[in-house]
Amino acid sequence: MKVIIIGAGEVGFHIASHLSRENKDVIVVDRNPEALRRVSDNLDVQVLQGSGSSPVVLKEAGIGSAEIMLAVTNSDEANLVACLAANIISPSTKKLARLRNADYDDYHEIFREKAPHIDTVINPDIEVVKTIYRMMKVPGAVDVGEFADGRIMFVGIRLEEHSPLNGIKLIDLPAKLKGVRPLITAIMRDEELIIPRGKDRLKAGDLVYYITASEQLQETLAVFGKQEPPLKRVLIIGGGRIGYRLAALLENQPIACKIIERNPEKCDRLAERLNKAVVLHGDGSDQGLLAEENVGEMDAVVTLTNDEETNILASLLARRMGIRKCITRISKFSYFPLMSTIGIDQVVSPRLSAINSILQHVRRGKVLSAMSIKGEQAEILEAMAMATSAIVSKPLRSVGVPKGALVAAVIRKEQIIIPTGDTVIEPDDRIIIVARREAILQVEKILAVKLEFF
């Protein structure tokens, strides 16, 4: 399968990295030779220098034989024009564009049906706000994802010293817990991802990923000793696109919201568009201002400025002032591994969101959705089991699930099954698989998605 990626920025780079590891033919187009050099030095992909919105360059990249084109440059306009040009030269190529301007929000469907025929429009800001909101709702969660149309939650939490599960062997879990049982699918320990087996113990400090039915979420959190009263007051630092979206979302909930922005003009505009939220003019990392506004009383602080260093500092400050829940926006991927060591666990990234939703669309078809775990060491795939694939009609233990992968849940009509070695997957079941990066290829093989990828 051939994929053309327009834009060699952080998003383009990481998508290219994912896809090239999965043996897809990737061509990256960008105007900047430096950005291209970074791509060609690190990844096994072809690069092409030129403007992605130029028909000549697109032709040279072989758009005619490309199955999918991803327009992910920093400029919405360039992405739109690239899709327009691609549509003229090769109407059969699937086109995906990243458009970040909120003004386009209402036109996503129209773009699909009318002129540029963009098959998918991604606005990572929308995804980020959703992620932030989910994190707020789930106390203690570091990472939250939804599968099977929201019926299944995938939650990552940090195991604390006083948690009742500290030091327990996984095999002993059912004996210890009478009622609901979270299915632990992966553990991050010292930046190393473990797909645990029965003998493995949970340790304080682990980042534990588990799967649960959505209605049992609160109970499972209680099992881990994480319970918090519902959110009442939230402080947002940074009133950019994401800050505004989040504030507007919170306004519709019974949540009081304050928003701090440094730029007076932006404050004006925010105050005009928001009704209940309190807009404050000032610096988010100014301790005086934070104290004045009773930060200590807040249930959560979300730092969303465009400057990640400011976000990190503001979150650290807020933590010191007694806030338990700080959600921090980070853009540089290289910062991710550092975050937990300085005590900032809840991190969001518009770029990571963009990558996740794009991957999901690239794999669309039998793989329904995909999400990568922090640090990109593993992915969670939701897939439809087909009658012809190797995984069905056999007990799981004889399917030969590759090393480093785990079938975490099976959804059969309305029922959610936590599989054992004897479980037999039937056609049209939805399966949720956690797979380390190196096992993804083999997982795709046993799902036989290769035959009808799209």
Q: Which residues bind another protein (CB under 8 A)?
A: 2, 20, 23, 25-27, 33, 40-42, 44-46
Number of H helices, E strands in the chain: 15, 22
Task: Name residues whose C-beta falls within 8 Å of residue 446's C-beta, 6 or more positions apart in sequence.
Answer: 389, 390, 391, 399, 400, 401, 402
Contact 94, 28 (CB under 8 A): no
Neighbour-count burial for 267-278, b at 16+ CB within 10 Å, e otherwise: beebbeebeebe
Smallest distance from another protein to CB 380, Å: 21
Smallest distance from another protein to CB 44, Å: 5
258: tokens are: 């304050």
174: tokens are: 């059912």
Strand order in the sheet with 2-6: 46-49, 25-30, 2-6, 68-71, 94-98, 120-122
Contact 355, 417 (CB under 8 A): no
Alpha-carbon span 399 to 144, nearest angstrom: 29
Beta-sheet pairing, 278-281 with 256-261: parallel
Alpha-carbon span 33 to 280, nearest angstrom: 42
Alpha-carbon span 256 to 297, nearest angstrom: 12
Smallest distance from another protein to CB 261, Å: 40
Contact 231, 136 (CB under 8 A): yes
Smallest distance from another protein to CB 38, Å: 12
Side chain identity, residue 218? Q
Q: How many residues does the chain have?
A: 454
Nearer to another protein, 430 or 436 (CB): 436
Task: Name residues whose C-beta falls within 8 Å of residue 337's C-beta, 6 or more positions apart in sequence.
Answer: 191, 375
**Side-chain-facing half-sphere of 115: CA atoms under 13 Å:** 7
Rg (CA), the chain: 23
Nearer to another protein, 41 or 106 (CB): 41
Q: Would you give the DSSP letter of residue 306?
A: S
Smallest distance from another protein to CB 29, Å: 12
Alpha-carbon span 275 to 121, nearest angstrom: 29
Smallest distance from another protein to CB 47, Å: 8
Smallest distance from another protein to CB 23, Å: 7
Strand order in the sheet with 278-281: 278-281, 256-261, 233-237, 300-303, 326-329, 346-348
Nearer to another protein, 45 or 318 (CB): 45
